[in-house]
Structure 1
Amino acid sequence: MKLLDEAEEYEPLRRHSRANTGPAGVAPPGQTANNDRLKFKVAGAFAGVGGLERAFEQAGHSSTMLCEFDRAARHVLSRHFPNAEITDDIRTLTQLPDCDVLTAGFPCQDLSQVGRRQGISGPNSGLVTTLLKLLKQKAEAPQWVILENVPFMLSLEGGRAIRMLADALEDMGFSWAYRTIDAQAFGLPQRRRRVVLVASKVHDPRPVLLGVDAGNPAPKKRGSSACGFYWTEGNTGLGWAIDALPPLKGGSALHIPSPPAIWFPKRRLIATPAIEDAERLQGFDAGWTDISDFDPLGVRKRWRMVGNAVSVPMAKWVAEQLTVEQPPFDDEAEADALPASGSYPRAAWGHDGRRRRSAVSEWPISKTPWHLASFLEFPAVPLSRKATQGFRSRLVASSLRYEDAFLADLDHHVETVGAS
């Protein structure tokens, strides 16, 4: 039986003992100080609506090429990145452009816990192999490669996806490090755990990604806070999040993009956030994915694009780490080798022919978080009576445990909301 508050609850990790990164404004050899630092040229594959690239832009860099298959997302990219070349299919690229940083939040449909689970050989997630071939063919590799995907890839098929990525990068002479990071660490009230992998042939990526750690916070107590959950579920899990939303998703258990719901205990309201607040929960400006001039009926497409996006504040932290002087990495503190088979850990690295697990937490930093209810700026949309009744029926028929107050407010909402 799974407790409601235990859904995706943090597991305790020991506090990482390594010293924090050096002061901002001190640049690595060959780079200038913070106010006049080297400007990276960024090429983005599987760019979506530009979460990674927007983050690098905020950190002072610029995008030269963005590749994205989805037409609606390309429309968004063309509006926000007018100086970048927009291409439509990684499979038709003959070569990667010259760039300092290559970013790729590659498709997660085959690697997601709620997706098809076909693994790294699936028709969507497997497209990353095309990117790796293009990278291998490039005479001068980018200084940095940044990959992003879902944590389930670390365990699906015994960690086959992350092993394949590590093997391919090492074959090309890259050192690499990855870390599971929760976007809540950057202050936004959305629990969003993602694996970020940083690789380089000329730099050590380990201090960039693993050199600073705030430690996972203690689990929250609900009190009177608003709570997010997936109204499309209720059989085996809820995605329950206290004072936050569960991860925004491009799809749902009903195989359609849909927002999570929010329980507002003080108002006895069950509602979903506006699309504009969903954009803000990903770190974009409200209206970032507006495609009314492209598809007047494209609201559902906006939810899919936002759900598939990379959290901008998280990616900005990574971008900033690339131009901050890092202390030497203390690899003596991490002597545990990675398993020969089976799942990979939440963080690890590969360097000089060695692969090791890392004990860092999912919170590299810890910014003061917004409360979910006070973060929302746009009117929440009451969940329909039909949707609420369906969720309630699944919940009470399941073995999940829940608060009596939550069930009472579901019933209250059914009684008061208009049928739709």
Structure 2
Amino acid sequence: MIDLKTLRDDPDSVRESQRIRGEDPALVDQALDADARRRTAIADADRLRSEQKSLGKLVGKAQGDEKQELLAKGKELAEKVKAAVAEQKQADEDSEKALRAISNLVQGAPAGGEDDFIVLETVGTPRDIPDAKDHLELGESLGLIDMERGAKVSGSRFYFLTGNGALLQLGLLNLAARKAVEHGFQLMIPPVLVRPEIMGGTGFLGAHADEIYHLPDDDLYLVGTSEVPLAGYHSDEILDLSEGPKRYAGWSSCFRREAGSYGKDTRGIIRVHQFDKVEGFVYCRPEEADAEHQKLLGWEREMLVAIDVPYRVIDIAGGDLGSSAARKFDCEAWVPTQNTYRELTSTSNCTTYQARRLSIRYRDENGKPQTAATLNGTLATTRWIVAILENHQQPDGSVVLPDELAASVGVKVLEPKK
């Protein structure tokens, strides 16, 4: 949720942010109108309560007919107070709903949609791989991936990771966890079912709510990233940030319905309903957020160096940020058989947007509570297996693993099954 003071003091900046995102600037005026109605309702209720209090003092001093008249007036005034309080409550709800409809304020992101990103840097040169096999063909021949039985058991876009495939994923995620701990993150294995107020507080129940699995009997949501439970971890708390940011790394299974992606990336494990991920999450003071964002990006790049794949860093356009992010950088790895780069990591600066919705604060140097900032960034996911297999394949169909992964899997070369 954006800062109400910013909405009141500088509505033009909020309108411009909405335009950069390709969203409706009229939501700004609707929120301003709702805020004005709320303030009027508060003033009316306060005035009537003051009248009621003054009348109560007069009743205590009056006698006879005068007292009866005042009591009758008091009864009438009590009904007005009751109605005014109800109006104030409704105005509060309407104002918050209108404010929550506005996405976070964009900070430096280019305008446009999914294809309007800016390439900031390209690292590494793609290898020339004649007759390259895609990750699924490699995964099946090496005994790593079983899509057919995944579909038999659970339906389309599900899979089994088998043998060295399972070890490869565990090695990859263990590598991410180890590096995160080395950089001062506290490792967490969070719940993957969360309450509506936590899912909504992180901003995931807006335009993309149809991506999320919901269990109506329990009114719980399956998370699509451990960003969600990690954001909820300190909800309704005042944090001690006197010694610097709090950094967590969440290892969890993630679930996405992939609504609207019919026919896209149906082959293999690029776009699936269930995957595992290690996600970095940071709480900090707002003035530290930009620096923490660059640190998260740096840690993601360190992981990409460890798996030794060509990649590029892109600055995501406003229309592709999602409601919570003010700025987002993706790292995309080269996928030889697609002759393009595909997203492996994403890191977002959510400024105070999520923390304001979840009531996460810290005390400033004067001891006054202030809204914290939150950031998140991918440190490894199942999808990385795609880039690892395709970029490290050999002419004989084997795959040579990067050294840091080979140590976890137990073999340097993955050989085709006989």
Bin of the TM-score, shorter chain as denominator length: under 0.3
Give the TM-score of the pair, scaled to structure 1.
0.22
Between Structure 1 and Structure 2, the one with more helix by share is 2
Larger gyration radius, structure 1 or structure 2: 2
Between Structure 1 and Structure 2, the one with more strand by share is 2
Give the TM-score of the pair, scaled to structure 2.
0.22
